[in-house]
Chain A
Amino acid sequence: MGTNTISKPLPVDRDHALFLFREMLRIRRFEEKAAEMYSLQKIHGFLHLYIGEEATGVGAMQAFTQDDAIVATYREHGHALARGMQASALMAEMYGKATGCSHGHGGSMHFFDASRRFYGGYAIVGGGLPIAVGLALADKMQDRKRVTACFFGDGAVAEGEFHESMNLAALWKLPVAFLCENNLYAMGTALTRHQSQIDISLKARSYGMDSTSVDGMDVLAVEAAAKQAAAYVRSGNGPFLLELRTYRFRAHSMSDPDLYRTKEEIEEWKKRDPITLFKARLREWGLLTDSDVAQIESEITAEMEGAVKFAESSPVEPVEDLLKDVCARVKP
């Protein structure tokens, strides 16, 4: 596509395009900052980075309203940011601070935000799916036109909970949008080495559930497909499974030496970096200038540095409060 096609209507308006670009870049820079802080031993435990998968979370999140519910995985930093959670609250959570989005109880894998109906990061693979089914059941039983968006990875489709959830959601026609971020690896085990049927969208159909697959490196394609899926679910047709074909550029977690895939494979996928691709398209369409990029970059840098400062300067929860939230009521 060259400048001679500029007279055709663009698939996206400038404000929205810049918003999507900025959201993806925020996630990228947040994750880079998290990795840096992990290396400096400011952040501990597991850290699973979303780098390479930004188009799936950002694109898909555009399909859901603030009334809808989000259920995510342990690789949920991108979902949380795209849902509108503050980078500072997420960074503080990873620092284990009281100002963190889970008061330092959850860490990187367990972000929660009741005010945004963000029902959390689940770190037992597949464990969030039954929760999503139940949230959707509550909506259906209370006649609410809400959708529950449930993110999970390709690894989850090997779990019994995936199959139980597919079946029950389809059987009861529950409003769940199942969003499978297929990054081709269940930790270090390639999809082809853990699945007899590697077309994940086909699995939904065996439960009588409609499904489709989309290029997860193309944010506009993801957004369009997710909006279709959400509209389908919202209008009472039951659940839908959308497979987002993506790739993570970094290792599974910070402690993964990444021995199970080749450098060539990673480099090949990096040519399809969702941010680079989108930036190039926006330039081509005349929607993004070098100075726009510089300005966005500098704003995001300031945001992430602010998040680190906030986390650094935040207080920790007092140890006296250790047991406070185990139950709502303590034994009298």
Chain B
Amino acid sequence: MTKMTYREAVRAALRKALRADPRVFLMGEDVGRYGGAFAVSHGLLDEFGPDRIRDTPLSESVFVGAGIGAALGGMRPIVEIMTVNFSMLAMDQILNNAATLRHMSGGQFGVPLVVRVATGGGRQMAAQHSHSLEVWYAHIPGIKVLTPATVSDAYGMLLAALQEPDPVFIFEHATLYPLEGEIDETAGLVDLNRAAVRRAGRDVTLITFGGTLGTTLQAAERLAEEAIDAEVIDLRSLRPLDTSTIVDSVAKTHRAVIVDESWRTGSFAAEVSAQIMELAFDNLDAPVARVCSAEVPMPYAKHLEAATMPQVEGIVNAARSLVPHHG
């Protein structure tokens, strides 16, 4: 086991992949000389050179499209998009090409492309750098959507993504980059189809992913102080979605709160809630609750941003309201 930050874990995975496979290369805005907007690729240019650590113009559509084309041409490109808000500029390539080509061509062409996208709020970056739009991607058949929430997953999921024959989008919550944890460099490939139970509990299931895992675990500790034993599920992958882990947990706790940093309307929490209703209705002792972001463009001021995003207090309140004698 090696201790490192989330940022270093992504970098370690990139380095390992670049060393192992000459077809792998990284491209995106400022990934080379600058070292990456979040310093993820710092130092990689020196080791691998400008051919494999490619600085691109500010042209999201063509560098994502070129990633698709390069993947079709036998490479294993990794494209970095600086923030999920910028990824909107590449949405044509993502939806109309990356996600459709295999099916639209009758199975003749696959797109083994990995796209890393920084996402989420909490850093006072305001309304054009802070949103959490993973659910827009999770809506699209033909791609995989991963949300590594731990240092270990930041490392392992990137390596596993590079083994996939289809496009994989990895959402790295920007507040996680300094997070410290451990990776096991000798572990085998992680299973991208499985959610993880990050804390076992009996009374209520807290379901989350990405940047809100930490907040949700904190909320579980606070609930424990009130003798409410919360189970915490980290979804890890939004598409495909591991519904069996969710259903197994709800069968045990009979209550669920979904914590999701996206806006409530049409949130991924809404999808999970519907799945629970469809698959585990008889197990529920209370309505499914959601803790999402307020429906407002992300404000700059710290107190307003905090009021917008899911916080420990809101999660605790939602869980408490579902549990008998604590309502």
Contacts and interface: CB of A to CB of B under 8 A. Distances in A.
Contact of B96 (A124, A167, A324, A332): A124
B69 A112 contact: no
A307 interface: no
Contacts of B51: 141
B65 A133 contact: yes
Contacts of B70: 134-135, 137-138, 141
A64 to B, nearest CB: 15
A145 B166 CA distance: 27
Interface stretch (B28-36, B105-113, B210-218, B267-275): B105-113
B218 to A, nearest CB: 32
B193 A331 contact: yes
A84 interface: no
B102 A327 contact: yes
B213 to A, nearest CB: 23
Nearest to B242: A331
Interface in B225-266: 240
B165 interface: yes
B69 A135 contact: yes
Q: Which one of B72, B77, B166 has the greatest number of beta carbons of chain A within 10 Å? A: B72
Given A114-B108, A167-B57, A325-B106, A141 B62 contact: no
B108 A124 contact: no
Contact of A102 (B56, B62, B108): B108
Task: Please tell me the size bucket of the interface on A.
Answer: 35 or more
B78 interface: no
A186 to B, nearest CB: 17
B62 A161 contact: yes
B interface, size bucket: 35 or more
Nearest to A120: B105
Q: Looking at A130, A139, A141, which has the most chain B CB atoms within 10 Å of its CB?
A: A130
Interface string A67-106: 0010000000000000000000000000000001111111
Contacts of B185: none
A112 B75 contact: no
B63 A114 contact: no
Given A127-B93, A142-B75, A110 B69 contact: no
Nearest to A321: B107
Contact of B74 (A102, A133, A138): A138
A104 to B, nearest CB: 7
Interface string B137-151: 000011010000000
B71 interface: yes
B109 A120 contact: yes
B65 A134 contact: yes
Interface in A310-332: 324-329, 331-332
A137 B107 contact: no
Contact of A134 (B73, B96, B110, B193): B73
Contact of B69 (A134, A324, A325): A134
Contact of A325 (B75, B96, B103, B144): B103
Contact of A103 (B66, B97, B106): B106
B298 interface: no
Contact of B108 (A112, A137, A168, A324): A112
Given A122-B97, A164-B61, A327-B142, A106 B73 contact: no
Contacts of B18: none
A64 B137 CA distance: 37
Contact of A141 (B75, B106, B193): B75
Contact of B65 (A120, A129, A167, A324): A129
The 9 closest A-B pairs by CB, nearest first: A134-B69, A130-B65, A138-B73, A103-B106, A164-B62, A134-B66, A112-B105, A325-B107, A164-B59
Interface of A: 69, 100-106, 110, 112-114, 119-120, 122, 124, 127, 129-139, 141-142, 148, 160-161, 164-165, 167-168, 171, 324-329, 331-332
